[in-house]
Chains A and B, each alone.
Chain A
Amino acid sequence: MRLALYVTCLVDLMRPSVGFAALRLLEEAGCEVIVPEGQTCCGQPAWSAGERGLAADLAKKAIAELEAFDHVVIPSGSCADQVRNIYPQLFADDPDWGPRARSLAGRTYELTSFLVDVLKISAVPGAFEGSVTYHDSCKGLRGLGIKRQPRDLLSRVPGLALKEMGECEECCGFGGAFSVKFGDVSTRIVDRKCESIAAVAADAVVGGDLGCLMNIEGRLRRRGDETTRVLHIAEVLAGGDA
């Protein structure tokens, strides 16, 4: 199985370790993984801003560079949702790009969903001594129905204890440009997430979307929490030296 890893622009810029962790997980599961060189961004920021034309340009670029692979795996529910649910909408009436968008959408997976639903892996390379709590990111949860997959995988990590926080399905307040446009509202929302995290008192908060994690980590630190680790699920599953 030849698959493309689409690391996402945020991971590329802000936390490369997530990309390497995803790579390791897929390779250890026996996949031939290519990281297409030309990848930049799926175009979601343009789409969210209402810039349909720009979003379509970037979607075409992504479709062209990814469609030759059997599968595309993305360590982000948000970007995977863009490819799976938005690309087909963008080209719904396009006789050329429509079928290509739909075909790619059907073969594109968020990382944990790919590991569980397609590869059906039973062991993960990582180990973690301590407790973690999982934040369900909105696009993964409500857009792609990802709920059980990350928990299934976390339960296979030796030493790890999952402690569910209250309101784990509540939005963290990130919302891409929303977090900058309405910074004070976004901060108010993530404050409640931080309170849920504090209440569950886990060693780490784990999620599947770097945007949410940066928001949560940024606020936790500003509030003075220097100890709760904030990790992408790929990092936990792959182990520290990914």
Chain B
Amino acid sequence: MTAAAKHSQAMHFQARAGEKVRNPVLQRALQKAKPLFVGKRAKGMAALAEDALDVETLRTACEAIRNRTLADLDVWLDIFEERAKATGAEVLWARDGEEVGRLVVEIARRHGVTKATKSKSMLSEEAHLNEALAEAGIRPVETDLGEYIVQLAGEAPSHIIAPAVHKTIEEVEALFAREHGRPIETRTSADIPDMTREAREVLRQHFLTAEMGISGANFLIAETGTAALVTNEGNGRMVTTLPKVHVVVTGIEKIVPTFEDFATLMRMLPRSATGQSISNYVSLLTGTKREGDHDGPEKTVFILVDNGRAGLLGSPYQDMLRCIRCGACMNHCPVYFSLGGHAYGWVYPGPMGSVLTPLYTGIENALDLPHASTGCNQCGSVCPVRIPLPKLMHRLREEQVERGLRPWSERLALKAWAWLAGRPVLYRWMTRRAVRYLNWLADDDGRIRILGMAPGWTAGRDLPMASGRTFNELYKARKRA
């Protein structure tokens, strides 16, 4: 079992899904969020026309940039390493999450770090970096508001760009009251700025006292050795410029060749994520503090992480490495918005998670996820880099079959059905009897309310039945008449 698999709860998807569907507080939070995400993206994309830009053309351009990068990923990584080193940064490589933890702890020890502020990084979730730091006696402080909330609550993020989307304002209010030591004031959504200010006051102290800042990177720009950070709260700047040490932890696939490529991708990333034409902050971090600079880290370290990524190169799943982590796929996913992210059991939820979790933690450790999709392709049609998510989930289903990972009962049922469907005469004989039987099960109003062979259907729905005759037999009777 890989290190990543140890932390995955993806095998409990089905049970967790049932629990989430029946959680009214969670459902309220999700129901509120979905139209906002969908509406904002739609508006942002529509606004592209004002700049005489076309969504589909841009998607194609972004897809091409990502494909071009992945085709020579090793070369771009070499170039990045060389250029980053030339700016005074250190570049380290990590095979997996555990190695990330070891490296960061080592750096922290070398610089006498007791506290590290963090800007949002999903890769640090993959690496369970906060746990590794805490074990080494170093206090990690999440500074993205959503991340701060889930850290206080002792939870994991449930969305890659809105980590606390599963929480209602009342829950956050109660949490803040408890953690910030204040009486509960039963606030309304109008008081969100007030609660944000409260969090800022707490975080400000951490920004000023942390010796190390840890961030991810939305992109690594090879030609200049630059890390690009796309944020909305400004916390990213504090984390990357105030402490004397800045550690960037990011996946090896985040690289783009040039600034121009970066600019093109930036047309799509904020729009796909939040509908913004550009995020409130875009930080381009190159090297360490130079002479005459007012701020900036004295030490910059890049930790470039594989954790399963290189294994996807040249595989049927390579397209997944194009992902720029915008969250549009989950924002448009009917399954995600019925459950929230925690049901998915690992770092990444929604359609991209249903592909990445099995690939990074082992196909056998996430059997439900590739099936947790209606195949609606709402994800694939909004993906800014045209990742064919349903196709990749489908390929994973095939691989489960090829590796004998599906339940024998399911396989036998499908085999028997396919065998029958290949024999029309027998099929017609059987189906005639089957519909008569179903019709017999139906109540007087023609509906089946309990169906033993498909309880998953009738638990929440009736099964409307027709006449108890197949089209085939009725058609034959009509032709004879």
Contact = CB atoms under 8 A, between A and B. Distances in A.
A175 B335 CA distance: 11
B467 interface: yes
A14 interface: yes
A185 B414 contact: no
A185 B424 contact: no
A171 B447 contact: no
A185 B17 contact: yes
A190 B334 CA distance: 9
B381 A142 contact: yes
A169 to B, nearest CB: 8
B401 interface: yes
Interface in B269-283: none
How extensive is the interface on chain B, given as a class? 35 or more
Nearest to B464: A217
Nearest to A169: B378
B471 A11 contact: yes
B454 A221 contact: no
Contacts of A198: none
B457 interface: yes
A19 B471 contact: yes
B343 to A, nearest CB: 9
Contact of A214 (B339, B460, B463): B463
B427 interface: yes
Interface stretch (B56-64, B99-107, B124-132, B366-374): B366-374
A53 to B, nearest CB: 9
A180 B454 contact: yes
Interface in B405-452: 406, 410-411, 414-415, 417-418, 420-422, 424, 427, 431, 434-435, 447
B151 interface: no
Interface in A27-84: 35, 37-41, 43, 45-52, 54, 57-58, 61
Pick the most buried of B334, B434, B475: most chain A CB atoms within 10 A of its CB. B334
Given A12-B470, A142-B381, A178-B374, A218 B414 contact: no
Nearest to B417: A45
B34 to A, nearest CB: 9
A16 B466 contact: yes
A225 B418 CA distance: 36
Contacts of B381: 142
Contacts of A184: 17-18, 21-22, 456, 459-460
A154 B424 CA distance: 35
Interface string A202-222: 000000000000110111011
Contacts of B377: 138, 142-143
B397 interface: yes
B334 A17 contact: no
A90 to B, nearest CB: 11
Contacts of B475: 16, 19-20, 35
A15 B471 CA distance: 8
A20 B479 CA distance: 12
B299 interface: no
B421 A40 contact: yes
A139 interface: yes
Nearest to B398: A50
B400 interface: yes
Contact of B455 (A45, A52, A183): A183
A193 to B, nearest CB: 9
Given A12-B471, A13-B431, A183-B460, A51 B418 contact: yes
B469 interface: yes
Contacts of B137: none
Interface in B1-45: 14, 17-18, 21-22, 27
B68 interface: no
A187 interface: yes
A54 B414 contact: yes
A189 B334 contact: yes
A182 B456 contact: yes
Nearest to A218: B461
B289 interface: no
Interface of B: 14, 17-18, 21-22, 27, 334-335, 338-339, 371-378, 380-381, 394, 396-401, 406, 410-411, 414-415, 417-418, 420-422, 424, 427, 431, 434-435, 447, 454-457, 459-467, 469-472, 474-475, 478
Given A12-B470, A16-B474, A50-B397, 19 more contacts: A9-B421, A47-B394, A48-B397, A51-B411, A57-B422, A58-B418, A142-B378, A175-B375, A175-B376, A176-B375, A182-B456, A183-B455, A185-B338, A189-B338, A214-B463, A218-B447, A218-B461, A218-B464, A222-B460
19 contacts: A12-B470, A12-B472, A14-B466, A46-B417, A48-B394, A50-B396, A50-B400, A50-B401, A138-B377, A142-B376, A143-B377, A178-B374, A181-B371, A182-B456, A184-B456, A184-B459, A188-B21, A218-B447, A218-B462
User: Which 8 pairs between the two chains have the least Cβ-Cβ distance?
Assistant: A183-B456, A175-B374, A187-B460, A50-B397, A218-B461, A171-B376, A16-B471, A138-B376
